Structure 1
Amino acid sequence: MKSTLIAAAMAALSFTAAQAADLGGAHLKVGSDTTYPPMETIDPATGQVVGFDVDVINAICERVNCTAEFVTTAWDGIFGALQQGDFDLVASGVSITDERKQTMDFTDPYIIVSQSIMLRVEDEGLTIEDFKTKGLKLASQTATTNATLAEELVGRDNIALYDSFATAVSALQNGDVAGLVIDGTSAAAYEKEFAGELIVGITGLQADPLGFVFQKGDERVAAFNEGLAAIQADGTLDALVAKYWGTE
């Protein structure tokens, strides 16, 4: 799965920590669908939001003088809630797309992920062609680029959409669907959680850059880009990638 993950080593991110902006100690509320390990999830022991996105946001805030409070928000409606001012930004494994950029602003990419298809272990070996010719259903989360890809692969009639990936995973386990289109980063987490039951069966599909999302025109995007550049330059971002997904 490590081959599906690329830290966003963008040449433009060449600032140093000393050059990062200062947000003056601002306390930022961060909207996040906290049902998507390892990007963001709730630690059952502490009740706290944890994950890769959380660590990246906190690292950026250390560089640009802010603090972050994660607010659990359902994916369906998360961008509307941002526009209404329920929080300051969204950090939830969000793919940067031209359509989304029309109504919201993104930071520079902080990671690039490849989409994958999860299968039950007993179905290992299924191909995309099998899904097409046998009418097998693909699941995904509604209003995601994963869902868009699923429709492109097998057509709208052969996909089942769910409010969360956790629900979609349950549908796959129960045999309600034959596969699940999901980012490879999170597929690896589910494969580990349900070892011997679910596998990442098809990899190397569409690659998506992920970014943090602000309201259109929010000047703090520039500060976050500088903070992102700083944690890339000093090795923090690479260390976080290694923490969650290991090294090649």
Structure 2
Amino acid sequence: MFKNLLAAAALTAMAAPMAYAADLDGRVLKIGTDATYPPMETVDETTGQIVGFDVDVMNAICEKVNCVPNFVNTAWDGIFAALQQGEFDLVISGVSITPEREETMDFSEPYIVVSQAILLQVDNADMTLEDFKAGGQKLAAQTGTTNAQLAEDLVGRENVSLYDNFSAAILALQNADVQGVIIDGTSAAAYEQEFAGALTVGITGLQSDPLGIVFQEGDATVDAINEGLAAIKADGTLDKLVSNYWGTE
């Protein structure tokens, strides 16, 4: 299952040793993230801190290039506008790199590639994509995401229900307001675990998306972050993080 949900993980750099000269001099980076998307980013109910894979990736990068990450929980539907207005130095929030987004924003190199999937109720685990394409079955997704665009491409806008965040989409699935939720496979697996016995990753092998860290167009900080990212790929840190969150089976 893991191999279906995570199309490619660390995108490991070549093994040749490299020198990393980038140094951000302890700069505090204000980082926008929509912490409603486990395991990429979520709020720890005990500590109130934002935690997750993306957080660990940024922490590891900052260790390499001498920066201090300051994560700010922000609703997805306004996160890119806030970046453009200078409220953040960058955004890391499970963001797919797309040609449309690259027209107005700059991206780091990809740090992971994920394959989209469809969550189903366990009782409907035998549903297929053809069932949704036939009409009468609703797919849910978060508005403004590549998941939502893929859902519309697959089954038509009339068969797609959009929600402000994936937590609301998951609730709609549990309440049978929709019959499936299209979501990155890595997060689908997390929800399957959280709601074991109720929800299952029923349809896999859909579109694969590279994820990147987002910057304002022309921001030179991307070069330093790319150096840090290359370093954590080269020394195995990124692979270890992927293994910690999703295993290697």
TM-score by length of 1: 0.97
Alignment of 1:49-198 (within 5 A): 49-198=50-199
Q: How many residues align?
A: 247
Q: 2:112 corresponds to which letter in structure 1?
A: I
Compared with structure 1, are the counterparts of its residues 11 and 237 closer, same or farther at alpha carbon in structure 2 (3 Å cutoff)?
closer
Q: CA deviation at 1:13?
A: 9.1
Q: Residue by residue, what CA displacement relative to the aligned partner does 1:177-206 show, whole Å, maximum 9, x if unpaired?
A: 000000000001000000000000000100
Compared with structure 1, are the counterparts of its residues 144 and 13 closer, same or farther at alpha carbon in structure 2 (3 Å cutoff)?
farther
Q: In structure 2, what is the Cα distance between the partners aligned to 1:232 and 1:180? A: 31
**Structure-2 residue corresponding to 1:46:** 47
Compared with structure 1, are the counterparts of its residues 127 and 104 closer, same or farther at alpha carbon in structure 2 (3 Å cutoff)?
same
Q: CA deviation at 1:8?
A: 3.6
**Structure-1 residue corresponding to 2:9:** 7
TM-score by length of 2: 0.96
Q: 1:7 corresponds to which letter in structure 2?
A: A
Instruction: Name the Cα RMSD after superposition.
Output: 1.3
Q: CA deviation at 1:10?
A: 5.2
Q: CA deviation at 1:210?
A: 0.0
Q: In structure 1, what is the Cα distance between the partners aligned to 2:227 and 2:16? A: 9
Runs of 4+ in 1 over 4 A off after TM superposition: 10-15
Q: Secondary structure at the match of 2:219?
A: coil
C-alpha contact 1:115 1:183 (8 A) present in aligned 2: yes
Q: 1:242 corresponds to which letter in structure 2?
A: S
C-alpha contact 2:13 2:230 (8 A) present in aligned 1: no
Q: In structure 1, what is the Cα distance between the partners aligned to 2:74 and 2:204? A: 29
Compared with structure 1, are the counterparts of its residues 121 and 20 closer, same or farther at alpha carbon in structure 2 (3 Å cutoff)?
farther
C-alpha contact 1:139 1:161 (8 A) present in aligned 2: yes
Unaligned ranges ≥5, structure 1: none
Q: In structure 2, what is the Cα distance between the partners aligned to 1:196 and 1:126? A: 16
Compared with structure 1, are the counterparts of its residues 14 and 26 closer, same or farther at alpha carbon in structure 2 (3 Å cutoff)?
farther
C-alpha contact 1:13 1:229 (8 A) present in aligned 2: no
Q: In structure 1, what is the Cα distance between the partners aligned to 2:84 and 2:189? A: 32
Compared with structure 1, are the counterparts of its residues 124 and 11 closer, same or farther at alpha carbon in structure 2 (3 Å cutoff)?
same
**Structure-2 residue corresponding to 1:245:** 246
C-alpha contact 1:20 1:63 (8 A) present in aligned 2: no
Identity %: 68
Q: CA deviation at 1:161?
A: 0.1
Q: In structure 2, what is the Cα distance between the partners aligned to 1:182 and 1:212? A: 19
Unaligned ranges ≥5, structure 2: none
Greater percentage in strand: 1
Q: CA deviation at 1:15?
A: 6.3
Q: CA deviation at 1:9?
A: 1.6
Compared with structure 1, are the counterparts of its residues 74 and 12 closer, same or farther at alpha carbon in structure 2 (3 Å cutoff)?
farther
